[in-house]
Amino acid sequence: MRVSKFPKLSGLGLNVTRTIWFEGMWFPFVAVAGPDTVFESVSGQQAFHLWKADFSNMHRKISSQCCLFLKFLTVDAKGQKMSFKNGMPSWEDLRLFLAVANEGGLIGAAAVSASSPPTLSRRMRHLEDNLGIQLFERHQTGYSLTQHGRELLVKVQEMETHSKSIQTWRAQLDQRPVVRITAGSWTSVFLAQHLEEITGGATAPRIEFLSGASFLNVSRREADIAIRNKISEQQGIAKTRIGPVSFGIYGSSTYCRSNPSSQSEDRYENCDWVILSAVGATGTSSSWLRQRIGDSARLVCDTPHAVLEAVANGAGLCVLPRFVGEQEPRLQACCAEIDCLRHTQWLVTHDETGTLPHVRKTAQKIVKLFAHHQDLFG
């Protein structure tokens, strides 16, 4: 940084007695303080906006007093007017700069950037004005980079590398929407077994089954579709009846032959039972069975699948939905349908998310699926 006389500015109607060489350019220096002011030249043809700037805020403290600078006008060492905006260049300008730098001129850059040579020329001038530095030496044969241009090129090449990595990452993401379905464990299994009937096609949404002991809340958008055995009374919820679900008592063929009581009402006292734990239980069937057998269960499992496997391998009897028990070849029914456990299932969606195309179409396919397999549920 150095201070010098600069008489060429006197013709602008400004009382500038000296200038400051800062970051490669001359700046007019006026040692006055006060609010933003507009100074007008003698001819009245130009107006220069000056503003107060404290150099200490720029981490280069020149003076303890405030200084005023030309907002849109600086001068180079030859006394020529230069734009000095110091704005943040756009990535589009930097991308075009990279094309011009790599191709060594406007014609080649136009071919690879889909921009015309006049547009490129204008954007490069804008970029230079924006940065306040000269990036190119312009010749009849093309463009060559200045030292500042070569330094910027290295940085922009690094940016391009990161940009391409982001594009690659984004392209690898699965862009299909996700439909989150919450249901009981066995209903989720049934839906998974018939996945093609509720999705199908390369552009079909991805499905997330959210099953377990606690149902997620559709009204709080924890799931997109819920299958319930009770009607929700919440506001903003749409409900569609999808049919009944019935239950029965099942055991393996080997166990039932060895335990004749499995075919009569004596089964509750004389047979072994496999039940769900209180944590794993999701419906009324578990509490219904506990009322009849008390705490005498031979085996308590925390998942429905564990119950099924244990019973299929001869551990005892259990209560299952009929659409599960009737489809399992290792099991046989020990009684007719248990009437008091029969209930209606409902498909529930939120009024807003339920109108999204991927949610609406999936919900319609689920309703159709249950209707098609109603003989298993009724």
Identify the three-state secondary structure at position 267: helix
Residues 355 and 234 reside in one and the same domain? yes
In this structure, the answer to whether residues 287 and 315 fall within a common structural domain is yes
Specify the CATH number for the domain of residue 118.
Answer: 1.10.10.10
CA distance 183 to 189: 9
In single-letter form, the type of residue at position 180 comes to: R
Kindly state whether residues 31 and 71 are assigned to the same domain.
yes
Instruction: Mark which of 119, 143, 172 sits at the end of a domain.
Output: 172
Token digits of residue 299: 């085996």
User: What is the tally of structural domains in the chain?
Assistant: 4
Last residue of a domain, one of 82, 106, 136: 82
321 lies in the same domain as 332: yes
Tell me, yes or no, whether 75 and 8 share the same domain: yes
Domain that holds residue 165: 91-172
Query: Is there a single domain that holds both residue 191 and residue 129?
Result: no
Count other Cβ atoms within 10 Å, centred on residue 341: 18
Q: What is the pLDDT of residues 183-202, one digit of tens each?
A: 888 888 899 888 888 887 66
User: What is the per-residue pLDDT across 36-67, written as a single tens digit (0 to 9) for each?
Assistant: 333 332 222 233 333 333 333 333 333 333 33
pLDDT per residue as tens digits for the range 329-369 = 999 999 989 999 998 989 988 887 888 888 999 999 999 99
Looking at the fold, whether 358 and 222 belong to one and the same domain comes out as yes
**Domain of residue 226, CATH code:** 3.40.190.10
Residues 50 and 99 in one domain: no
Same domain membership, residue 274 and residue 349: no
Question: Model confidence at 325, in pLDDT bands (50, 70, 90)?
Answer: very high
Does 311 lie in the same domain as 257? yes
Tens digit of pLDDT for each residue in 273-292?
A: 999 887 655 668 888 999 99
Rounded CA gap, 115 and 109, in Å? 8
Provide Rg for the chain, Cα atoms: 39
d(CA 128, CA 133): 5
Using a pLDDT cut of 70, give the percent of the chain over it: 72
